[in-house]
Amino acid sequence: MGALRNLTVTQQIGLLFVIIFGVLTLATIASFLRSLGQLTSEQASLHERLKRDLRAVWIGTVLFWVSWVLGAFVATLLFAVVSFLAFREFITLTHTRRGDHRALLAAFFLVLPIQYSLAGGRAFDLFSVFIPVYAFAALPILAALGNDPTRFLERTSKIQWGTMVCVYGMSHAPALLLLDFKGYEKRGAFLVLYLVLVVACAQIAQEIASRRLRRRPVARHISRSFSWRAWGIGVLTGALVGGLLYWVTPFKAPQAVLIGAIAAGCGTLGELVMKALKRDAGVRRWGNRASVTGAVGLLDRVAPLCFAAPVFFHSVRWYFGA
Amino acid sequence: MTRVEFVGLFLSTLARLITGAQGHWYGCPPKAEQRIYFANHQSHFDWVLIWASLPRELRAQTRPIAARDYWTNGRFKHWLTREVFNAVYVSRVRTDDEDPLEPLAEALRNGDSLVIFPEGTRGNKGDPQAFKAGLFHLAEQFPEVQLIPTWIDNVQRVMPKGEVVPVPILCSVTFGAPIQVEAGEDKRAFLGRARDAVIALQTVDA
């Protein structure tokens, strides 16, 4: 694998895309062949979920490819749009009131664009504190000026939480693109790919493991499938994938394994948190048909990334002092 | 692309970006038949939302109703309602020799579809108010036109009364099964049934 590291950037990209699109094509063909055979209803539902995950990986990979081809500016814009759509879905599911109107406008049309401009302008110091410090203070002020005390704390905390997850969390993906290490310039896109792949693989592995193992669920009121062992398998898979990809990162192999495990652990636990949120909102699945409001199901796709990206970003930055 | 088409595309894209503008066709398919869509009315945004959730080929023949005194004063407002939305103008001031429904009847005779809000005014929340009689008279005059009950969900959160900038929140437009005036049904019974048909769409599941 050390030889792979010494290839030029273009060669590495070519190799990566051949590998990734090859594996994805194989997986899609396998899943299609499987759908031709007879399936029990349980197998069919598992198959349906795997198909959804597979589609998410396809979309993620194509997004990555587009952002690689078109450069950092377009990539930042692309992530900003995804972030906007996810936040829109989040706000749809929470009960805001008239008095929140101004706070919501500020969150959508000021906080979100500013956060992504900070990422695009590489102002990482302000980028890290803008939402947790400044937006944290500003949003409840606007809500209070809305002159409505009914369930005030509940409403403002929901808006703040949504901003943190959908805007702050998500904005760390393009920030990774723009992060410059010594001797690793212009390769930030690989870090995003590394993160997305590790988290997606961990998620799929956990899904399969939880079906096979049938362990006692840890939190049965939130998720009937989440068990520590399945989670552990997900993390191990993430670590393995991270290790295999070490040659595209600035890390040494053991570091790549460790960081892969951290990202995978955060991502899969983030998914659990989103499940709790779904239960709270009374939605069982955020598919297109689940509710009359028709939330499009983007949020549970990006949630693992939203949770993993900030942890990943800050641990990398702290460790390398970039 | 002409300027009118461009503005139309821009507005529908904007509506989709902000609200998703998803059309759920439960009781009828989106077909190019002559129809009257009647819906609950909560916000100025309602018409744009229904319009954006229709397939593009239906938009040109589906027309809103606009108050003549408000929407024709000012060049831009007039241009927008006339060229882009192809609105049917009605006057709010009643004169003795004129039937207020006449412009609507004329549009229906031309083969156009209409979107009407039979409550007459915007309600604040909860169930729609009692329906006005116009729907009944149109249904009697044009029995061959399908009457489609329509429920607009969530739009009051996008732009509450008195605000000008919309907040991005997903909305949906649900189209139900067509209804018609039964033989011997009087005005009151029909309007009540029409209102119930709209309310019933609130809870339909996929």
Instruction: Give the CA angle between residues A5, A206, A78 to the nearest 5°.
Output: 60
Among chain B residues, the shortest Cα distance to A98 is held by B160
Domain count, chain B: 1
Residue A319 within a domain: yes
Q: Which residues of B touch A109 (CB under 8 A)?
A: 165
pLDDT of residue A1: 59
Residue A263 within a domain: yes
Query: Which tens digits make up the pLDDT trace of B66-78?
Result: 888 888 888 998 9
Do the Cβ atoms of B157 and A96 come within 8 Å?
A: yes
> CATH number, domain at B27?
3.40.1130.10
Which residues, in sequence order, are CB contacts of A166 under 8 Å at separation 6+? A83, A86, A87, A90, A299, A302, A306
Among chain B residues, the shortest Cα distance to A146 is held by B163
Tokens linked to A303? 């949630």
B1 touches chain A (CB under 8 A): no
Residue A320 within a domain: yes
Tell me the pTM: 0.82
Residue A251 within a domain: yes
- Of B189 and B172, more confident: B189
Q: Which residues of B touch A87 (CB under 8 A)?
A: 168
CA A207 to chain centre: 16
3 state SS of A294: coil
Residue A282 within a domain: yes
Domain count, chain A: 1
Integer Cα distance of B148 and B35 in angstroms = 7
User: How many helices (DSSP H) and strands (DSSP E) are in chain B?
Assistant: 9, 7
Q: Which residue range forms the structural domain that includes residue B27?
A: 3-203
Q: Average of pLDDT values for B184-201?
A: 90
Residue A261, Cβ density class (10 Å: 0-12 exposed, 13-18 middle, ≥19 buried): buried
Q: Are B74 and B81 in contact (CB under 8 A)?
A: no
Residue B205 pLDDT greater than 60, yes or no: no
Q: Are A198 and A84 in contact (CB under 8 A)?
A: no
Residue A244 within a domain: yes
pLDDT of residue B158: 86
Integer Cα distance of A80 and A168 in angstroms = 11
Query: Which tens digits make up the pLDDT trace of B1-58?
Result: 788 889 988 998 888 888 887 788 888 888 888 999 999 888 878 888 999 989 888 8
Give the closest residue to A28 by CA, choosing from A52, A45, A46, A44.
A52
Residue A237 within a domain: yes
Q: Which residue range forms the structural domain that includes residue A260?
A: 186-322
Q: Average of pLDDT values for B92-99?
A: 72
Residue A172 within a domain: no
Do the Cβ atoms of A292 and B165 come within 8 Å?
A: no
Interface of B with A in 140-169 (CB under 8 A): 153-154, 157, 160, 163, 165, 167-169
User: What is the mean pLDDT, run by run of 10 residues, along chain A of 322 residues?
Assistant: 68 79 87 77 75 76 76 86 90 82 92 94 91 94 89 90 94 86 71 85 87 80 84 93 86 88 91 82 51 58 87 83 63
Do the Cβ atoms of B170 and A98 come within 8 Å?
A: no
Which residues, in sequence order, are CB contacts of A217 under 8 Å at separation 6+? A223, A224, A225, A226, A227
